[in-house]
Structures are given as C-alpha cells and as structure tokens.
Amino acid sequence: MLEQRSDFMTQCAMRILPGFPHSVINFAAGLRGISLKTYLLAATLGLAVKWGVYSSAIYGALEAIEEENALQFDVLLPLIALALLLLAGAWYRRRIEAARNVH
C-alpha cells in the first residue's frame, strides 16, 4: 500500500491506527524516499493524536474511579474514540492482508 500511497495523510493515518507496526512505516518511508519534512510532520501529528486519545482515556478513567462516577460523558468519549480507532486499525490491517493474499 505504501508503494502506491506514501503521502503525508496516509502516513499520518497509519500512525494513528492502533496495531499498525510503526517499523513498517519507517522502513517504507526510507525505501520510498519520502522527504524528511513530510516524514517528521506525519509522525509527529499521527503519534500526537494517538497519544492524546490514549492519555485522555486513561486520565478520564482514573478520575472517574476517584470520583466513583464512571459513566460521565467526558470519561466515555475518549474510551469510545479509542475503541473506534482499534476497530478501524483491525479492519484496515485485515484489508491489507487480504489484498496481499490476492496478489
């Protein structure tokens, strides 16, 4: 997939998806000759989004435990976002594996 699409948005999206191996993105970026600027921006933005969601989910869960009120919307929203990212990552990974098996 990176052979055909190795642009900024694709790299960024793959970094956001949980379960996608970052080493594959790193090696592919080097092999495809992606500019260092594009690589660094995509890595920074993609990982910032992923880490932001993870941090928010963990912080919200810990706050809810302390307050004994786990069903607050601001606690559930990051957890829902994290679950959606996990589902999207699993779906995308299956799609890539299916495409690889066809060819």
51 domain-assigned: yes
> How far, CA to CA in Å, does 11 sit from each of 57, 66, 71, 93?
24, 38, 34, 14
80 domain-assigned: yes
12 domain-assigned: yes
Which helix (H) or strand (E) segment is 96 a member of? helix 73-102
Q: In terms of residue numbers, what domain contains 58?
A: 8-102
Highest mean pLDDT among 6-10, 19-23, 24-28, 99-103: 24-28
3 domain-assigned: no
92 domain-assigned: yes
Q: Specify the pTM.
A: 0.61
How far, in Å, CA of 65 to CA of 67, rounded? 5
2 domain-assigned: no
90 domain-assigned: yes
Which amino acid is located at 45 in the chain? L
The residue with tokens 């912080």 is 59
Q: Write out pLDDT tens, residues 61-96.
A: 787 778 776 666 776 777 777 778 777 777 777 777
Taking the CB of residue 14, how many other CB atoms lie within 10 A of it?
Answer: 23
How far, in Å, CA of 15 to CA of 85, rounded? 11
Domain count, the chain: 1
